[in-house]
Structure 1
Amino acid sequence: MSNGDDERADDTDNGASGNGADTESGAESDAADVGAFESRLDDAESALENAETEADLDSIEATVDDIEADLEDTEFSVVEPEDEDEEPEDPAEPLEDRIGDLRDGIEDQRGPYGEDVADAAGDAAGTIRGTRWTRDGEPAVAEAVETYLGAAEAELDTEFGVEGDDDDSRADAVESVGETAADGRLDADEDADIIAALLEAVDTLEAALEDAEEWSDLEVAEQLEREGFYDRMHSENRKDFPPELGVVRIAEAENDPERILMALENLDSDFMQENCLDALRRLGSEEALEPVEALAQRRDVPAIEVLGKIADESAVETLVDFVDSGNPPLQKATLRALGEIGSEEASQPIANVLADSDPAVRSVAARALGLIGDTRAIEPLSDRLDDEGEADEVRASAAWALVRIGTKRALESAAAHDDDRDYGVQLEAQKATDATV
């Protein structure tokens, strides 16, 4: 006969026994699941080692997809580590790593394809187009391309020709080989030897391009020598040091901006850059517009001064951005340049600067408006001139600008100050009075 305590003890014992059995069963089940996945992955790895065709790789990839899908649907018990500082181990992680390695292995064994030939040929064509070759390098590139095209013709049974004697034509011919190889005629299994031969031909082409002499391989002096930079220098006019300065001075005397621009592009010392820009400012040659404007966009004051001497209206868009920069030396150079260019497109931005905090900037702005001659500037210039609190330097410049604009209204505004306190203003007022008689 038993009491309730005995029954409860029995129940407890049974329950404990049942829980232990469940835990043990679950652990065995997890181990069995992991082992099953490992076995399937072993089989897939073995199949990958023996794969010979794209179809074999497709089949293995499908198998890996199935394993990965099943793994995502499987829940494993995470074993808590004895050390509390360690992270729990997830049994799925090593399996996922093996799946990733299998996918990488499949990708590595695929191909090569005709598209790989097209990619490699495209890279070689880009090198041909994007490189400046020397006189010795150019024929080496031409020969390398001809060799490549000959190899491609033999493999693809198609004729490839270069339509012109320039880098673009050679690059186009190289690309045409890649396009032909990628048009679907080549099978990765049946034509593997052809694809391999074409890729080898591209490698040979790229090696030849690497060996061909390009402009950047030369020292600066050698580059200039090959461009004929020093041709005008001889014993009688070799007076300056460095000799490049002598070439720049000779070029200026002969009104030859090309050599000066050559020096500006290749000689990066502050000394030579300054002398080149000085020479270009004195010449004011339109040929200098593009390279000098590129320098001006970097707020180079001497370059901005050159743009003023060139006086091409296309530079206005670049220059107006600097008018209100808050940098007085930059502002003054820009205002002078815009005045020399004389485009009314700049009138309003310049008129706005008549309120600048720096009187020297306001003065140069007034004179720039006078050089442009836009009648819309008469009113703001008259306001500066009539303002008794304005600096005399600015008022004199405003009077000068009004005389320069020269319309009746502008002259009358200036002439009204014939008894001004400032002598400079009086002089301009007298000019205005004389002009109206």
Structure 2
Amino acid sequence: MSNGDDENADAPEDAADEEAPADAEEPTDASEPSEETTEEPADDAPEETEGVPATEVTVESLEETLDEVAAAVEEAETEADLDDAEAKLDGAESDLEAADFEEPEDEDEEDPTEALQSRIDDLRGDIEEARGPYAEDVEETVAAAAETVRETRWTEDGEPDVHAAVETFLADASEEVGADFNAGDDLESQAEALERAGTAIVNAGLDADDDAETIAALVEIADTLEDDLEDAEEWSDLTVVEQLTAQGFYDRMNAENRKDFPPELTAIRLAEAENDPERILLAMENLESDFMQENCIDALRRMGSEEAFDIMHERAQKRKRPEIEVLGKIGDERAVDTLVEFVDGGNPPLQKVTLRALGEIGSEEATQAVANALDDEESVVRSQAARALGLIGDTRTIDPLSDVLGDESEDDSVRASAAWALVQIGTERALEAAAQYDDDRAYTVQAEAEKARDATAA
């Protein structure tokens, strides 16, 4: 028989040790949220890294970071040090963009976001200023110097100084980078040598940290070149009289022919008498007074020199009447496209001088535009248009001119101009059209008609 202890040994274990049903729920620790109640972190909540809560971004924390960046820039000895400082600054700027600081209620109080951004911008400038210098900086300075050498108009005293400055730089640069930069005696060759030197400096593979001394030396000699070119005398450094004297403007003047005041007026009149438009153009370029400009243009108009075309054409595009008159005297057909734009402008003084110039140029490309002016509201414009057609001599205008001449309601001055134009065209048909009015009521018309009659009888 078994005793009571044996029976207890065979009894089931305590209920707490019994196996729980398969579908039974595990007890929930009250200190841990259940899966159903777990909330997603807010979007603007600080991120955690490996279980460590992120530090909240505040104005004070950003200011502290920027202080650290400023110190790092101040202490930086290499480009890598500056890279690290810039990376930290980038992080601070990102934090600032993500932060949402309250705007101050007082209008006089500074906005912390704006203040921090301003300081970030300043620190970026400090980093850029602390970087380098680089070989590319030297090349940029040298390229600018080459352009100065090439484009500047140097005086007789200034040019030797330019040569000396370039030769000194090339010699020093050759020593620093171990290359020869030979240059010719003319300024263009020297400019090209500078450009070759700049390219060689960049291609030398100089490192901003490892070759800091070499780059610093190149920067110094490039700056010296720039200063020496600045000191060299160029034409713009001279007074107007000195410039004109150096270019021989006053050479023809002497005690006997110096009759006008200012003396420049005498020089212009001498140039006109000697048919030397270049001296007059030189005066136009350098003498800015209205008086001297007018005298130069008057001389060029009387001369009608082709050399004056470019400057007269440029000014005529601004509807300047004296310059348009000169273009007429020059007679270059290149001016036609510009001048025909002024024929129909509702400006009788401008139209008159333009029509006269087109007539003097005599290009049939202007015929239609000039013929259109026969219908202008102003009789002075219609009269000048008729005369311009006579100077052009295009036989296609015989009929419209005949119509004007036969229009009894037209102003007699316009009819007389049409008769004059037909005589100028001079073909048999044109002369016959004009000759019909040899007994016209208007004497001016009759006089032109008689010329036509005489010409047909010859």
2:336 aligned with 1:316: yes
2:66 aligned with 1:69: no
Separation in 2 of the partners of 1:92 and 1:72? 9
2:194 aligned with 1:169: no
* Aligned residue among 178, 188, 213 for 2:198: 178
Distance 1:89 1:428, change over 3 A: closer
Instruction: Give the match's secondary structure for 1:111.
Output: coil
Letter in 2 for 1:312: D
The CA deviation string for residues 301-333 of structure 1, in whole angstroms up to 9 with x for no partner, is 222222211111112223222222333222222
Q: Extract unaligned runs of 5+ from structure 1.
A: 1-25
Match of 1:209 in 2: 229
Q: Where does 1:83-94 land on structure 2 (aligned, <5 Å)?
A: 86=107, 91-94=112-115
2:297 aligned with 1:297: no
* Deviation, structure 1 residue 136: 0.9
Instruction: Give the match's secondary structure for 2:203.
Output: coil
Instruction: Give the match's secondary structure for 2:172.
Output: helix
Alignment check: 8 A CA contact 2:304 2:330 kept: yes
Q: Which moved more, 1:404-413 or 1:353-362?
A: 404-413
* Deviation, structure 1 residue 373: 0.7
Instruction: Give the match's secondary structure for 1:338.
Output: helix
2:390 aligned with 1:390: no
2:353 aligned with 1:328: no
* Deviation, structure 1 residue 146: 1.2
Match of 1:136 in 2: 157
2:76 aligned with 1:51: yes
Q: Extract unaligned runs of 5+ from structure 2.
A: 1-45, 47-53
Letter in 2 for 1:55: A
Q: Which moved more, 1:59-68 or 1:32-41?
A: 32-41
Separation in 2 of the partners of 1:170 and 1:299? 43
The CA deviation string for residues 238-286 of structure 1, in whole angstroms up to 9 with x for no partner, is 2332222222222222222222222222222233222222222222221
Q: Where does 1:370-381 land on structure 2 (aligned, <5 Å)?
A: 370-381=390-401
* Deviation, structure 1 residue 93: 4.0
Distance 1:125 1:362, change over 3 A: same
Letter in 1 for 2:213: D
Separation in 1 of the partners of 2:144 and 2:159? 18
Match of 2:441 in 1: 421
Match of 1:7 in 2: none
Separation in 1 of the partners of 2:85 and 2:152? 44
Separation in 1 of the partners of 2:284 and 2:64? 70
Match of 2:247 in 1: 227
Separation in 2 of the partners of 1:79 and 1:399? 86
* Deviation, structure 1 residue 428: 2.1
Letter in 1 for 2:178: D
Distance 1:408 1:232, change over 3 A: same
Instruction: Give the match's secondary structure for 2:294.
Output: helix
Distance 1:173 1:33, change over 3 A: same
Match of 1:281 in 2: 301
Alignment check: 8 A CA contact 1:79 1:88 kept: no
2:394 aligned with 1:358: no
Instruction: Count residues with an aligned counterpart.
Output: 405
Separation in 2 of the partners of 1:237 and 1:47? 77
The CA deviation string for residues 127-183 of structure 1, in whole angstroms up to 9 with x for no partner, is 2233221111111111111111112111121211324513x3332322332222233
Separation in 2 of the partners of 1:171 and 1:243? 39
Match of 1:100 in 2: 121
Separation in 2 of the partners of 1:184 and 1:393? 81
Letter in 2 for 1:143: A
* Deviation, structure 1 residue 369: 0.8
* Aligned residue among 158, 174, 179 for 2:179: 158
* Deviation, structure 1 residue 30: 9.8
* Deviation, structure 1 residue 393: 0.6
Match of 1:243 in 2: 263
Separation in 2 of the partners of 1:433 and 1:226? 60
* Deviation, structure 1 residue 32: 6.8
* Deviation, structure 1 residue 88: 7.7
* Aligned residue among 199, 211, 222 for 2:219: 199
Distance 1:163 1:402, change over 3 A: same
Separation in 1 of the partners of 2:211 and 2:197? 16
Instruction: Give the match's secondary structure for 1:182.
Output: helix
Instruction: Give the match's secondary structure for 1:245.
Output: helix
Separation in 2 of the partners of 1:92 and 1:284? 70
Alignment check: 8 A CA contact 2:325 2:357 kept: yes
Separation in 1 of the partners of 2:281 and 2:61? 75
Q: Which has the larger radius of gyration?
A: 2
Separation in 1 of the partners of 2:288 and 2:104? 66
Separation in 1 of the partners of 2:114 and 2:313? 59
* Deviation, structure 1 residue 391: 0.8
Match of 1:116 in 2: 137
The CA deviation string for residues 56-93 of structure 1, in whole angstroms up to 9 with x for no partner, is 212222222222223323334x2764xxx537875544
Match of 1:15 in 2: none
Separation in 2 of the partners of 1:30 and 1:80? 24
| Amino-acid identity (%) | 62
Instruction: Give the match's secondary structure for 2:300.
Output: helix
Separation in 1 of the partners of 2:278 and 2:169? 38
Alignment check: 8 A CA contact 2:57 2:99 kept: no
Separation in 1 of the partners of 2:238 and 2:62? 61
Distance 1:407 1:58, change over 3 A: same
Instruction: Give the match's secondary structure for 1:298.
Output: coil
Q: Which moved more, 1:376-385 or 1:344-353?
A: 376-385
Q: TM-score, normalized by length of structure 2?
A: 0.81
* Aligned residue among 146, 155, 168 for 1:125: 146
Computed over aligned residues only, the root mean square deviation of the Cα atoms, in angstroms, reads 2.5
Distance 1:198 1:79, change over 3 A: closer
